[in-house]
Amino acid sequence: MTILVLGGAGYIGSHTVYALIEKGVDVVVIDNLETGHIEAVHEKARFYKGDIRDRAFVDSVLDKEKIDAVIHFAANSLVGESMVNPLKYYDNNVNGTKVLLQSMVAHGLDKIVFSSTAATYGEPEKVPILETDRTEPTNTYGETKLAMEKMFKWTDRAHGLKYVSVRYFNECGAHVSGKIGEAHSPETHLIPLILQVPLGQREYISIYGDDYDTSDGTCIRDYIHVTDLAQAHILAVDYLMKGNESNIFNLGNGVGFTVKEVIDTARIVTGHEIPARIAERRAGDPARLIASSDKARQVLLWKPEHADLEEIISTAWNWHKNHPNGYNG
């Protein structure tokens, strides 16, 4: 079986490539390296540098390689940037997916697993969030991901393309080997931002609001280890290869941790005091964001193996302390 991983040089994509190769799967990677890192691509994967908006390029890869299924991570994903440069997100995320699907349909390639986001839901009506809940994104990034999901739906209706869309919140942690990990520029994720303090790259960590209706007043978020996330995408491929219908699955630990709990755990893991300062609430930050992954557990038989917060942060710390500047050393 040969799987094409789009965005396979990125954070979640590279971990998924590693997990596929560990299972003995043949892997082809496409990445334009805009935000990905060539150093993150597994040496056993066949790598093609290019952009999925380039139809001739995508056609050339699908002509050369016999692909059984696609896992699609290739997208811009910064919420803040998406609000000031929305057309960039429509061009790369939505237009890129349109070109990809045109090539897939032309090549008779009819299975795709899509790495979506829980940002498709917007402000949750209730917690934990179910796959059937209302989807009203509050930012351009979430809106483009939802538009991509709709594109798969109608392409399925017209051409029989089967898809699984995976929606999740805060991916975190790093590969247990320490070979690959999280390296974003700019960094926006909480755990690596916290770890910048013991690395000497940041004086303190800011807590945006401590007056929410939660156990300690700080926001609760659902964290998922990147390796567990990779496994879910692979299980989704297996699900499609068995001839199942298109579907959508939420992923998460189902519990959630407060910002203060995450900082306290990082203090234990690193042995550093990690000073924290309270700042103003950020607009649009809900008190709780937790996804129910019951459906994924029941249908895909997904079992997260790295849900312990201390373990998650330990793998992240192992990566960051040895690679304080990401793939640049």
Amino acid making up residue 253: N
Rounded distance, CA 171 to CA 138, Å? 20
Q: Residue 200: is it exposed, middle or buried by C-beta count within 10 angstroms (0-12/13-18/19+)?
A: exposed
Rounded distance, CA 101 to CA 148, Å? 10
Contact status, residue 27 vs residue 17, Cβ threshold 8 Å: yes
Residue tagged active-site, from 11, 18, 141, 163 = 141
The reply to whether 212 belongs to the active site is: no
Contact status, residue 68 vs residue 241, Cβ threshold 8 Å: yes
Element (H, E) at 60: helix 55-64
Contact status, residue 152 vs residue 113, Cβ threshold 8 Å: no
Contact status, residue 244 vs residue 236, Cβ threshold 8 Å: no
Strand-pairing partners, residue 114, are 72, 165
Left (φ > 0), alpha (ψ -120 to 50) or beta: where does 32 sit? Answer: alpha
Q: Which two tokens stand for residue 99?
A: 């070109």
Q: Is 99 helix (H, G, I), strand (E, B) or coil?
A: helix
Tell whether omega for the bond before 128 is within 30 degrees of 0, i.e. cis: yes
Half-sphere exposure of 76 (CA within 13 A, CB side): 27
Rounded distance, CA 78 to CA 75, Å? 10
CB within 8 Å of 157: residues ≥ 6 apart: none
Residues annotated catalytic, as ranges: 141
